[in-house]
């Protein structure tokens, strides 16, 4: 069982829809991440939150909007997505690495997103 929970597991949406992906962890981690993973490829980092503040945005299009309402929750709001955005979206969490050895990231099982 994973300690990072993502909902929904699957999502099909049209290009004009608005939806949100959710991620929750109760390990006391203060760094949370969104990754995008295409088939047969490694995960690609999208966003990093550290202490509930956005610290890294890997030049992600504005149709993806992250939100970290508290230390346990991470959302990814989706709007006007394109077919090429179909992928597995993974959430991860870790202890913040700044000033300490880089801590391992713990991943959820992801949301499989399909854009029609």
Partner 1 sequence: AQSVTQPDIHITVSEGASLELRCNYSYGATPYLFWYVQSPGQGLQLLLKYFSGDTLVQGIKGFEAEFKRSQSSFNLRKPSVHWSDAAEYFCAVGGDAGNMLTFGGGTRLMVKP
For partner 1, the binding residue among 45, 60, 73, 80 (CB under 8 A) is 45
For partner 1, the binding residue among 21, 24, 25, 108 (CB under 8 A) is 108
- The dihedral of CA 8, 71, 77, 106: what is its sign? negative
For 41-64, give one letter per residue: b (16+ CB within 10 A) or e.
eebeebbbbbebeeeeeeebeeeb
- Shortest gap between Cβ of 90 and partner 1 (angstroms)? 6
Query: Do the beta carbons of residue 89 and residue 78 sit within 8 Å?
Result: no
Interaction of residue 22 with partner 1, rule CB under 8 A: no
Kindly state the number of chain residues that form the binding site for partner 1, as judged by CB under 8 A: 31
Contacts of partner 1 in 69-98 (CB under 8 A):
90, 92, 94, 96-98
Query: Do the beta carbons of residue 91 and residue 107 sit within 8 Å?
Result: yes
Note the residues at the interface with partner 1 (CB under 8 A): 2, 4, 6, 31, 33, 40-43, 45, 48, 50, 55-56, 90, 92, 94, 96-98, 101-110, 112
């Amino acid at each position: 069982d994973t300690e990072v929970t993502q909902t929904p597991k699957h999502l099909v949406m049209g290009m004009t829809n608005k939806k949100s992906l959710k991620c929750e962890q109760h390990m006391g981690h203060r760094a949370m991440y969104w990754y995008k993973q295409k088939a047969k490829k490694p995960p690609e980092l999208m966003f990093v939150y550290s202490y509930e503040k956005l610290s890294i945005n890997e030049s992600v299009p504005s149709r993806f909007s992250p939100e970290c309402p508290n230390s346990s929750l991470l959302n990814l709001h989706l709007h006007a997505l394109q077919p090429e955005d179909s992928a597995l979206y993974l959430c991860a969490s870790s202890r913040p690495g700044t000033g300490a050895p880089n801590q391992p990231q713990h991943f959820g099982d992801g949301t499989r997103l399909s854009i029609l």
